[in-house]
Structure 1
Amino acid sequence: MEFLDLQLVHALKTDGRAPLRRIASVLGVSDQMVARRYARLRETAGLRVVGRLNPRPVGQTVWALRLQCVPSAALGLARALARREDTRWVKLAAGGTEVVCHLAVRGERERDALLMGRIPASRAVTSVTAHRLLRLFKGGPTGWDGIASVLTPEQRDALAPAYPPPDARAQPVRLTDLDHLLLTALARDGRTTHAALAAEARCHESTVRRRIAHLRGAGALFFVLDIDERSLGGPSATALWLSVRPARLAAAGAELARHPEVAYAAATTGRTNLLATVLCRDDEQLYDYLAERIGALPGVDTVETAPIVRTLKRTGSVARDHDPADGAPRR
C-alpha cells in the first residue's frame, strides 16, 4: 500500500465522516487524487466507514462468546452467526474449532433467547463460554492504526472531530424513530451524505445534521473504519484471554491499551477477565510479544491464545471477499 493510501486510511480512522475535500487539503493533494484513492481502496481492500452505536448509553450489553465446535460444522455456525443483526464480530479461531463472536443485546429476553436457547441447542457446539464486557480499554474509535499511523500530529488535529470520544459511562440516550432510521443507514455506509439521509428519512437536511451531532456529542454514535488489516502489511490476529488479579486489572488493561500491537482490549466477566486482540506480522513477533510484553503485565496469572484463522464479520459487516479454497465469502 502506497504512502498516500496509508495517509487516507489514517485520516478516515481519525474522522470517518471528514469530507474528502478537507482530507485532500490536509494531505496537500488534489481532491480528485483523494477521491480516486478512496474508490480504489473500497474496491481492493474493502474499505468503508461504519456508524456504530455505543451500547451502554442506549441500553445494550455486549457479550463475547467462545463456542467450541465440531470441526466440520464450525464454519457453517460462524456464517450463521455472521448473518445475525445482533452480532458485531465473528471470527474462526484455534485451527477452525472455535468460533469467537461479539453480541450486542438489549435486555434479558434477547440475551437468554440466544445464550440459553438457540446456541446450546446446536449439535455443532460442544461448549459455550460467555463473557459480558464490563470496561473497554481499547477499541472502536481508539482501535489499532498499525502501519497506518502516518499522519503528523498537526494533520491529526486538523482532522479530529469536534465531538468527545464515546464514553462507556455516558448518560443514557433515548433513541427516536428518526435516530433508528439514520443509524441503520449509517451502519450500511457511514459516509452517506446528509442530503441522502434526509431524502431517505423524508425530513430536512438540517434536522439530520442536528440528530447526528446530538448522538455524537452524547457519546452514543461513533464511526469506525472497516478495512482488511492484511492490506496494511499482512498482520495476523490472535485473541488473548487473560486471567488478571482484580487489584491489578485496571493497570493491566490500561497498559494493554498502550501497546501498538493491541487492536482491542476489554475487561470482562468470567474465569478469564481481560480480553484482547493483537496483530503481529508473524509467529516470531507474536512469541516476542507474549514473552516480553504480556509477561511483564502486572497481575497476570494465566494467558490463553487463539490464533484467528478467518474473520467472517467485522464492525457489523459480513465479509465480502472470496476464499478460493472453498468458494465462501471471506475477509
Structure 2
Amino acid sequence: MTAGIGHPMETQGSGAPGAGGGAIGLDELDLSIVHALQIQPRAPWTLVGSVLEIDPVTAARRWARLRDVGAAWVDGYLSPAQEDMTWAQLEIAVNGARLMDVVRTLCDDAGVLSLKQTSGSRDLVALVQARDVDTLAEYVSERVCRVPGVQGARVHVITATPFEGSQWRLRSLDAGQRERLRQFDETRPAPGTPVTAEPLRPVERRIAVALGTDGRMPLAALAREVDASVATTRRALGRLLNSGRLALRCNLARPLTGWPVSAMYFASVPAEHLDATATALRTLPELRFCTMTAGPHNLFLDVWLRTLHDVHALEAHISRELGHLRLRVEERAVILRTFKHVGRVLDRHGHSVRSVPINTWK
C-alpha cells in the first residue's frame, strides 16, 4: 500500500496554547527531542544529547519546558497487543445535558484509558481495559451504565491490535540517529535469558501503574514508588519491556504535530483478509490506532489528519488501495474533542492536565 495523503511533520514548527494559557512554539530541536523519546522513552539525557549533538543539560531543559506546560509527556501502560487483559471499544450514548458530568466521572475512572466526543451516531467513544470478559461485562453494566446521564453503551471487544500509538513516530531524526537510540536498553537481559509468558507479578502491576504517571521516572524513584529494591525493580521492568507487555509512549499534544484533525473509521473486511489488510494499513502515516473487534465492524481505525477535507480523501485512498481485499468503510466520525488519552486528562488544546494511571486491579 502506498503512503497516505500526507507525511508526518512536513510542517516542523507550530504553536498552540499551553496548559497554563500561554502559547508554546516548537522548533526543530524540540521535535528532535520528542522523536528521540518516542524511540527510547527512558533514554538518559547524555544519550539524547550525544545523538542530537547538544549538551545534555540543554536537552533536559528543553524537555522540562514541554513537560511542564503539558505539551509533551511520557507514560507507560500495559500493551493492548498482549493477552493479559481484555480490551474493548465502547460507544456510549449520553443525555446531552449531562455530557460534561459523564465526562468528568469517566475521566476519573482508572479503567477508562481514552475518552472522546465524536460526531455521528454515538456521543462518546471510550477505550477500556478489564481483567477478562466477565469483568468487562460487569464493568460496563455496573459501572459505566450506572453513571448518571449515560443512556446505554455498545461494547466492541478487541481481538487484536495491529497498530497502536506507541509505534507512531515524528520524522525529525535521520536513520543513523534512530539506530543509535535503538541500541540503548537500561534493562537489557543477559544473553540467552528466556522471555516467559507467566502471569503478571504484583511488583510488575505496581510498576505499570507508577509509570502511568511518569514513564521517565528514574529507576531509584520507581523502586521507592513500588516498594522494592532497585535490583528487583530493574528485573521486573526488564521482564515487562522485553515481553512486550508494557508499552512506553512519548506523546506530543496533537495540535503541535501539524495534524490537528482526528477521525475514526468503522470498517469491515472478510475475515480471511484481516491480516493482509492490517499489514497494508500499517504503512499509513495518518494511522494512530487500529484494532480488530468482534462486532458489526471488525476494524476500528483512529487517524490524524491535516484538514477536515482529508476525512473523505483518506477514506477514498484506503478504499482504492484496499478494494481488492473487499475493505468497506461503513461509517466515519470526526473526533470533536479528546478528553482523555491513555490515562491523561487533556485540555481543549490537547495538553496534559493531569494523569489518572490505568489500574485494572484497583
Instruction: Mark yes or no: TM-score above 0.5.
Output: yes
Asked if 1:73 is matched to 2:95, the reply is no
2:336 maps to which residue?
Answer: 309
Q: Cα–Cα, structure 1 residues 193 and 303, in superposed 2: closer, same or farther, change >3 Å? A: same
Asked if 1:157 is matched to 2:179, the reply is yes
CA distance in 1, matches of 2:294, 2:348: 35
SS of 2:309 mapped into structure 1: helix
Q: Cα–Cα, structure 1 residues 132 and 232, in superposed 2: closer, same or farther, change >3 Å? A: same
Higher deviation after alignment, 113-122 or 62-71: 113-122
1:207 deviation in Å? 2.2
1:309 deviation in Å? 1.1
1:56 deviation in Å? 6.3
SS of 2:282 mapped into structure 1: helix
2:212 maps to which residue?
Answer: 187
Q: Deviations over 1:241-260 (max 9, x none)?
A: 10212222222222111100
**Of the candidates 38, 42, 49, which is equivalent to residue 74 of structure 2?**
49
CA distance in 2, matches of 1:128, 1:97: 9
Contact 1:57–1:171 (CA under 8 A) maintained in structure 2 = no
Contact 1:141–1:223 (CA under 8 A) maintained in structure 2 = yes
Q: Which runs of 4+ in 1 moved over 6 A?
A: none
**Of the candidates 197, 212, 217, which is equivalent to residue 172 of structure 1?**
197
2:327 maps to which residue?
Answer: 300
Which protein is richer in helix relative to its size?
1
1:80 deviation in Å? 1.5
1:167 maps to which residue?
Answer: none
Q: Deviations over 1:89-121 (max 9, x none)?
A: 111111796111111101244212222333344
CA distance in 1, matches of 2:250, 2:88: 22
1:55 deviation in Å? 4.8
Q: Deviations over 1:111-151 (max 9, x none)?
A: 12222333344563444221111111110431x32xx2111
CA distance in 2, matches of 1:58, 1:173: 11
CA distance in 2, matches of 1:203, 1:122: 37
CA distance in 1, matches of 2:339, 2:85: 23
1:326 maps to which residue?
Answer: none
**Of the candidates 40, 56, 59, which is equivalent to residue 34 of structure 1?**
59
Asked if 1:139 is matched to 2:167, the reply is no
CA distance in 2, matches of 1:132, 1:223: 23
Q: Deviations over 1:210-233 (max 9, x none)?
A: 221122112221201233111112
Count of aligned positions:
317
1:4 maps to which residue?
Answer: 29
1:218 maps to which residue?
Answer: 243
Q: Report the residue type matching 1:277 in the other structure.
A: D
Q: Report the residue type matching 1:314 in the other structure.
A: H
CA distance in 2, matches of 1:277, 1:120: 24
Gaps of 5+ in 1: 165-169, 324-328
CA distance in 2, matches of 1:72, 1:231: 31
Once the two structures are superposed, the pairs formed by residues 114-133 of structure 1 within 5 Å of their partners are 114-121=139-146, 124-133=149-158
Q: Report the residue type matching 1:153 in the other structure.
A: A
1:176 deviation in Å? 2.3
Contact 1:89–1:101 (CA under 8 A) maintained in structure 2 = yes
1:110 maps to which residue?
Answer: 135
1:72 deviation in Å? 2.1
The RMSD of aligned alpha carbons is 2.5
CA distance in 1, matches of 2:80, 2:278: 20
1:197 deviation in Å? 1.8
